[in-house]
Structure 1
């Protein structure tokens, strides 16, 4: 039997409801929050005061000029808790800080030759990069999230085909110890797909294909990321498109990742077209977003892939990722602040 919700549970729910309302449509007066949420003005006023005390919301100067008492609009606190995003790429490291609105306040991306390096040393380098962006942003950090190019578990890396020394490494735990804050971990293509959803111009259903040294995909259905029960959904790079083809680091042969070479756009487009045709048939998505590409090849590859998919019915739209979305790094940092907005009291 399900027990009735207690006062604390109801208040926690309403606190998240009010903060989410402000985040979605700021700036809003307390009266407008009450209208949109269905809560009484007295309840909203009490919850808003709590959110202001917690540093999550600020009240702007009252707007004057109309009849009656002027309303003071509410907005998310740009100097409140922030998210720290980290990225472990095959040939680069990145770190960024976003505020509660998801705006990037500091970011650094550096080249790094660490394919054969000791993971502990690479985690040290990531922590140093994190310290630099934290100092630049000068915001309180609510938590961190790490993007990696492969399959992950709760905190440990399961497999990074292009970084073989990282299998089984508790990267999130190692960074949490170095950073002094809770740290999560996720696939980089999944996080880049979320950045497109949150900050780009995509529909609610799409496949994001991350194309670089490796190839991955993030699948968004109904405005929600689909990871699969084991978190392995979207391993586009290891779909077999040429049976018996060249061997792949994953143990298979003829994987898409082994057949895409952006120095040969026609061949790459044919291989991508074959894999994406299968993905479209399986998932029923009608938008493909190509990301992780150098600007010089992004549009030519998009056009070539679109030509490969031109006969599909219903038609499929192929686009290049929105530069303003920010990719996996911003998606990782925004994951942290969105968790704060969903649970402003930290689950207490």
Structure 2
């Protein structure tokens, strides 16, 4: 599977500020060169210099350093017909550092390697029920998948620049501790000691990584949007001016535990009538009178396409519940749009009518547009891997030092 090249957007994560020193300026300029070539390449040195406002001599020095580090490569002379001496076209390297993304789902594990050009070079998935299992065996299996993907990537001339793990739960600001994942049954689990040593590690909520994937890889994605992602649980991420809104403790976006019917059924979080009890995959299956299987979304979509009235009613009610929960977020945050991602995207034809109806009926201003992510359930995994790649683009000097 391939993904689009990185857009020329500023970092969305908590970037590390570089000092205003000569060395800090050099590192910033290396990053500017990498981002420009990544977003617009192949480009000549002269074209890069023109875009970032530096002299060609200065850019040539930076480019030479990036080529020596294996982060850029020269593809050959520019196309004929240009006036003057032809330059060599530069592109980000198809070898060298790669981002390793991983996802822990309620019923699956997944890992992929993405190179600097945004291409998925290796991928592994295992369908396994993780609900109620302790972190140790789950992460032991995930480590096996990571090692397999890394070995395959290394066979193609890549090396892992870092590991980012998407989880369906609340993650502390240390970016390694899962404070609470109700649908897994995890509490205060430090993933740092249970995953492969030697790789820079970032752990984040799966909806946050899904939103970053939408921001970086989606077509015409706005700078302000609310991203909704779901499988058994439902999460959301808020992007404001191209950056994630994390909240005081890093827990922003727990849409699945917004009560839509306060006297409704008990939720795994301890509350009652939460959105997950009406719009999560398990809840929709229950309402439709179906038993959960390996491919829940495929089962629901297939029955809905066949005209199954019970399934369509269940999806209509799920869309209504989503619309009620989203109304509060839209009224409070005034996003430019709502993006439906994750597993929910596969059920959009039957969810959207009632969801949009509730939003239109309940929001204070004009109706907020609702779109469907083309990345679907791949969003969190791709967002995790691309977050590592973005780290390389943001500070290539640090990556070259680790190589």
**TM-score, normalised relative to structure 1:** 0.93
SS state at 1:102 partner: coil
Deviation sequence 1:96-134 (CA, Å, 0-9, x none):
010112221122222112222231111110011112222
Report the secondary structure of 1:309's partner residue. Answer: helix
Asked whether the equivalents of residues 63 and 72 of structure 2 are also in contact (C-alpha less than 8 Å), the reply is yes
CA contact (8 A) 2:214 2:375 kept: no
Take 2:354 and 2:117, find their aligned partners in 1: how far apart are those partners? 36
1:325 Cα deviation after fit = 8.9
Tell me the SS of whatever aligns to 1:277: helix
1:324, 1:28 → 2: CA distance?
32
Cα pair 1:200 1:324 within 8 Å, conserved: no
| Structure 2 Cα separation of the partners of residues 222 and 167 of structure 1 | 32
Aligned to 2:192: 172
Any idea what the Cα deviations from partners look like across 1:167-213, whole Å, max 9, x if unmatched? Answer: 11111342142xx3111100000100110111112211111111210
Which runs of 5 or more structure 2 residues have no equivalent in the other structure? 1-18, 289-313
Does the aligned pair in 2 maintain the 1:290–1:302 contact within 8 Å?
no
1:31 aligned residue: 46
- 1:299 and 2:318 aligned: no
Local SS of the residue matching 1:42: helix
1:205-216 correspondence to structure 2 within 5 Å: 205-216=224-235
After the TM superposition, which of the residue ranges 5-14 and 87-96 deviates more from structure 2? 5-14
Q: Out of 96-105 and 187-196, give the one that drifted further.
A: 96-105
Q: TM-score, normalised by structure 2?
A: 0.81
SS of the residue 2:203 aligns to: strand
Displacement, 1:32?
1.1
Report if aligned partners of 2:230, 2:344 keep a CA contact under 8 Å in 1: no
RMSD: 1.8
What number of residue pairs does the alignment pair up? 342
Q: Name the CA distance, whole Å, in 2 between partners of 1:220 and 1:295.
A: 19
Q: Counterpart in 2 of 1:182?
A: 200
Query: 1:234 Cα shift?
Result: 0.5
> Which moves more between the two structures, 333-342 or 265-274?
265-274
The question of 1:141 aligning with 2:157 is answered no
Query: How do residues 44-123 of structure 1 correspond to structure 2 at under 5 angstroms?
Result: 44-63=59-78, 64-123=80-139
User: Does structure 2 conserve the Cα–Cα contact (< 8 Å) formed by 1:81 and 1:141?
Assistant: yes
Listed one character per residue, the Cα deviations across residues 51-82 of structure 1 (whole Å, up to 9, x for unaligned) are 00111111111023333211111111011210
Aligned partner of 2:259 among 229, 240, 246: 240
Asked if 1:282 corresponds to 2:332, the answer is: yes
Task: Please tell me whether the aligned partners of residues 204 and 223 of structure 1 are also in contact (alpha carbons under 8 angstroms).
Answer: yes
Cα distance in 1 for partners of 2:332, 2:145 equals: 40
SS in 2 for 1:242: coil
8 Å CA contact 1:105–1:137 kept in 2: the answer is yes
Contact 1:196 1:325 in 2 (8 A): no
In 2, Cα distance between the equivalents of 1:314 and 1:208?
19
Query: How far apart, in 2, do the equivalents of 1:42 and 1:156 lie?
Result: 46
Residue 331 (str. 1) matches residue 347 (str. 2): no
Moved more, 295-304 or 140-149: 295-304
- Helix, strand or coil for the counterpart of 1:282? helix
Question: Secondary structure of 2:398's match?
Answer: coil
Instruction: Tell me, yes or no, if the aligned pair for 2:31 and 2:394 is still in contact at 8 Å.
Output: yes
Distance 2:215 2:346 in 1: 24
From the superposition, tell whether residues 17 and 325 of structure 1 become closer, same or farther in structure 2 (CA, over 3 Å): farther
Q: Is the 8 A contact 1:191 1:328 kept in 2?
A: yes
User: Aligned equivalents of 1:209 and 1:84: distance in 2?
Assistant: 23
Change in CA separation of 1:223 and 1:6 when aligned onto 2, cut-off 3 Å: closer
Matches within 5 A, 1:259-278: 259-260=278-279, 261-262=283-284, 263=288, 264-278=314-328
Deviation at 1:295, TM superposition (A): 6.4
Post-superposition CA distance 1:197-234 (Å, at most 9, x none): 11112211111111210011011111111111211110
C-alpha change, 1:143 and 1:258, in structure 2 (3 Å) is same
* Alignment deviations for residues 221-255 of structure 1 (CA, whole Å, 9 cap, x no partner): 11111111211110000111111221111111111
Structure 1 contact 302–320 (Cα < 8 Å) conserved: no
**In structure 1, distance between residues paired with 2:70 and 2:378:** 26
